[in-house]
């Protein structure tokens, strides 16, 4: 197995302290948002054999296993991250596989450069994802029941929000949600900025359930995404709890440290809370306008001590082992590629000693035994 040297991405929303604290190093004073583990060409992990992209490309079947290559092609189909949100990320949604292929092919035909700021599809893949909290973790996930959203907006006492309240009481629910989100995102920017300012003052005054939206407005004053966010479920995860975010589900991460895993894609359509490009027509084509429970996941324990976060897709499978002092070693050998990540304590993986934030890549079929005292996350695929 290969010890990984991973890139930390300095996005502006990143915490300045959470990742350094996990790694046991001094903060630099700059935001440290994500640490990437995998073979994404944007920031591939490095090994003693070269980048993980190069290692896999040299012998895909040896590194990934024949079954994974047959199912997903000669690339690692997932990207594992440590994510540290110090301020809210953009409100966003991801396409399904057919939408991603269509959108990517269309933008390629139109000659839009992949790095163009108005480009929506950086690749032809979907991007389902799972976030597992390491600390208390706040997020927004999926639409509220429209009547609940109407009650929340109405409670602000802002006259310019009354038409949205009335629309949310209409039927059917999917049409009501579509109309309101469309109206919010296409409203006159100056008028919407005034509405957001009034709503922000009310959120600050009322507190309680309104407090998260006052914080959003502090970071993104006047942004229509503040009102759009109030259509979504607010979720607070406790350590060990997780959220699965499938295609078309609007979401945003607000604050906290977590382990994130996703299909190996960079396709994002933004709804707000960002200075970046918002393509409203394409966004409305992708969003699933249906109220849903956020569906907080708790791991399901197996007899061998593996705790699995069950999801409906095959590109990734995330689980963890909580290793007690004096406990037996666990054989994690598997016919698919794995990344093992320590998040607490000290764990021995093969010949490597892992402390929090350290990780290894295990080629398909390679013997993998873990022992020690701590927590290790296991990322692999279903093939």
Cβ–Cβ < 8 Å for 256, 237: yes
From the list 3, 46, 144, 270, the catalytic residue is 270
Closest CA to 318 of 262, 362, 237, 366: 262
Q: What is the pTM of this model?
A: 0.94
DSSP 309: E
Per-residue model confidence (pLDDT) at position 275: 86
Of the pLDDT bands very low, low, confident and very high (cuts 50, 70, 90), residue 109 is very high
Q: What is the pLDDT of residues 99-108, one digit of tens each?
A: 999 999 999 9
Per-residue model confidence (pLDDT) at position 20: 98
Buried b vs exposed e over 176-204: b needs ≥16 C-beta within 10 Å? bbebbbbebbebeeeebeebbebbbebbe
Tokens at 245, concatenated: 């975010």
Tokens at 123, concatenated: 């690749």
Check pLDDT > 90 for residue 53.
yes
Quote the CA–CA distance of 132 and 257 in Å, as a whole number: 9
Give the residue-averaged pLDDT of 52-62: 97
Quote the CA–CA distance of 92 and 269 in Å, as a whole number: 6
| Strands 317-323 and 129-133, bridge-based pairing | unpaired
Determine how many CB atoms are found less than 10 A away from the CB of residue 329. Answer: 11
Closest CA to 38 of 7, 84, 80, 75: 80
Tokens at 126, concatenated: 């979907």
For this structure, is 119 an active site residue? no
DSSP 78: E
Q: What's the N-to-C CA distance of the chain in angstroms?
A: 20
Per-residue model confidence (pLDDT) at position 249: 96
């Amino acid at each position: 197995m290969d010890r990984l040297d991973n890139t930390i991405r300095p996005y502006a929303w990143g915490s300045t302290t959470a990742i350094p604290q996990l790694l046991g190093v001094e903060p630099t004073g700059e935001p440290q948002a994500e640490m990437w583990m995998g073979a994404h060409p944007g920031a591939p992990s490095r090994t003693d054999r070269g980048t993980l992209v190069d290692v896999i490309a040299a012998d895909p079947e040896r590194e990934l296993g024949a079954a994974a290559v047959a199912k997903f092609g000669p690339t690692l189909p997932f990207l594992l991250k440590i994510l540290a949100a110090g301020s809210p990320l953009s409100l966003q949604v991801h396409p399904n596989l057919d939408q991603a292929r269509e959108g990517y092919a269309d933008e390629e035909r139109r000659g839009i450069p992949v790095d163009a700021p108005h480009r929506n599809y950086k690749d032809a893949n979907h991007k389902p994802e799972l976030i597992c909290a390491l600390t208390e973790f706040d997020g927004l996930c999926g639409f509220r029941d429209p009547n609940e959203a109407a009650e929340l907006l109405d409670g602000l006492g802002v006259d310019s929000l009354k038409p949205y309240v009335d629309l949310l009481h209409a039927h059917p629910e999917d049409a009501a949600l579509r109309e309101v989100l469309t109206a919010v995102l296409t409203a006159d920017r100056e008028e919407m900025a005034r509405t957001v300012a009034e709503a922000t003052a009310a959120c600050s005054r009322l507190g309680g359930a309104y407090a998260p939206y006052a914080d959003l407005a502090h970071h993104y004053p006047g942004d229509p995404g503040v009102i759009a966010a109030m259509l979504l479920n607010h979720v607070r995860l406790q350590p060990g709890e997780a959220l699965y975010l499938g295609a078309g589900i609007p979401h945003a991460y607000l604050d906290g440290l977590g382990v994130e895993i996703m299909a190996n894609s960079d396709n994002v359509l933004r709804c707000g809370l960002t200075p970046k490009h918002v393509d409203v027509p394409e966004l409305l084509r992708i969003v699933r306008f249906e109220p849903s429970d956020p569906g907080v996941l708790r791991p399901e324990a197996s007899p061998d001590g593996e705790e699995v976060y069950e999801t409906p897709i095959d590109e990734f499978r995330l689980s963890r082992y909580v290793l007690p002092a004096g406990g037996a070693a666990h054989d994690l050998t598997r016919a698919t590629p794995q990344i093992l990540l320590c998040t607490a304590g000290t764990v021995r993986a093969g010949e490597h000693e892992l402390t929090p934030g350290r990780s290894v890549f295990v080629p398909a079929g390679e013997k993998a035994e873990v022992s020690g005292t701590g927590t290790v996350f296991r990322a692999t695929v279903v093939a």
